[in-house]
Amino acid sequence: MQTLESLLKKGTTILKDNGLEEAGLDAWLLLEYTADIGRAWYYAHPETEAGEKTALKYLELCKQRAEHIPLQHMTDTLLGIAQSLDTTVDQLLYDNTPVLVSKFDADIKELTSDCSNQEKEFLLEIIKSTKTALRNYKPVK
């Protein structure tokens, strides 16, 4: 079996060798799609073994993308929907952004409602540290 990290490297190589300018991004988007994972999860678990089915599907999609088939035709992602509607993802989601922010704020308020001031300060420090670590993280290539 192959790890997610090794699959991503293989996919990137396939796409680079076929002249795709955004090989790394395209390889990532295809891995995200086939393995049903997000970046945060991937960076926390790059050594996770991909199932055989996932690996085969991923490499097949990379080969299709290497033939310059548009990504959105292969994945039916939000990006593909936005492009089909001749708009951007940001414009498509804009109306929902305030709702998501207020939902997030409500969740934080509920989660911390029974915390002491000391616990809230501790949680704030954890969030600050985590944010800094995420922004400073540079994946090994």
Q: What is the mean pLDDT of the chain?
A: 85
Give Cβ neighbours of residue 28 (< 8 Å, ≥ 6 apart): 8, 39
Residues β-bridged to residue 49:
3
Please give the model's pTM, rounded to 2 decimal places: 0.55
Is the pLDDT assigned to residue 95 strictly greater than 60?
no
The reported pLDDT for the residue numbered 107 is 85
Residue pLDDT, tens place only, 50-74 = 999 999 999 999 999 999 888 877 7
- What is the C-alpha to C-alpha distance for residues 60 and 43, in angstroms, rounded to an integer? 23
Burial class (CB in 10 A: 0-12, 13-18, 19+), 3: middle
Is the pLDDT assigned to residue 25 strictly greater than 60?
yes
The reported pLDDT for the residue numbered 72 is 74
Q: What's the alpha-carbon Rg for the chain, to the nearest Å?
A: 19
- What is the C-alpha to C-alpha distance for residues 47 and 36, in angstroms, rounded to an integer? 16
